[in-house]
Amino acid sequence: MSGNHSQARLTRVCQPGGRRVACRFRFEAMRVAIAGGHGQIALRLARLLSQRGDEVVALIRNSDHADDVRQTGAVPAVVDLEHASEDDVAQAIAGSDAVVFAAGAGPGSGPKRKETMDYGGAVKLIAAAKQAGVRRYVIVSSMGADPDAPGDDTFSVYLRAKGGADEAVRSSGLDATIVRPGGLTNDPGTGRVRLGERVPRGQVPRDDVAAVLAAVLDSPNTIGKTSDLISGDAPVAEAVAAI
């Protein structure tokens, strides 16, 4: 990894609980930049990372969202990824150990914004990461993402944009992980998931997607991997370790 914590080493973290002390191993605190920082998954991820001691920078396009970001423990950076220059994005993520692309045009947006945001935004973040010397790149994609998905409807355009972004990330030369959640829900997270190169279609709470992303950032074994994600039976840590 690159940035201020490039010499991060594995440390033992113990949390007392009743008569037991739960211990786990993780890398020392890292600095993570999240694109799409006001999104529902991004806010959950920022809170998880901040709570475990990581430094989080959330890229947002609307300064009105800054307080929401601060409440998670993250530092807001107002950068409109869709229209900002690569230099501006690189400056915003400078010093980070990892970037997470959790941005998207969002529901209700038309086909054009799927191309400029879901694909174009991801590609711009790749260029900015390279410019800033950030090696680690995690992208939130979608089950069914396919650069050759047929159809002219907005959802088909979305799947092509996501699939194109995945291919760009995969071929970027960065230490990349692609996470492809199924249908997203706001149900409380269960902490149990199913991850794999090909899993049946299903749903997954946004809470659990954020937990998987947090674990992926700590797991070098996920570099170079693409995994579908739905609810399942395996604890998040075990599922990520088995990727």
Q: Point out the catalytic residue in the list 46, 158, 160, 230.
A: 158
The span from the CA of 169 to the CA of 175, in Å, is 9
Cα(224)–Cα(74) distance, integer angstroms? 27
Cβ pair 178, 216 in contact under 8 A: no
Q: Are the C-beta atoms of 192 and 235 separated by less than 8 Å?
A: yes
The packing angle between helices 120-132 and 86-93, to 10°, is 60
**Which residues does 162 contact at the CB level (< 8 Å), separation at least 6?**
118, 119, 141, 142, 145
Catalytic residue list contains 137: no
Integer angstrom CA distances of residue 204 from 31, 123, 222: 27, 26, 20
CA gap 107, 161 in Å, rounded: 14
The Cα 91–Cα 170 span in angstroms is 23
Q: 207 — phi, psi (to 5°)? A: -55, -45
Structure tokens at 85: 């220059």
One-letter identity of residue 108:
G
Q: Catalytic positions, please? A: 158
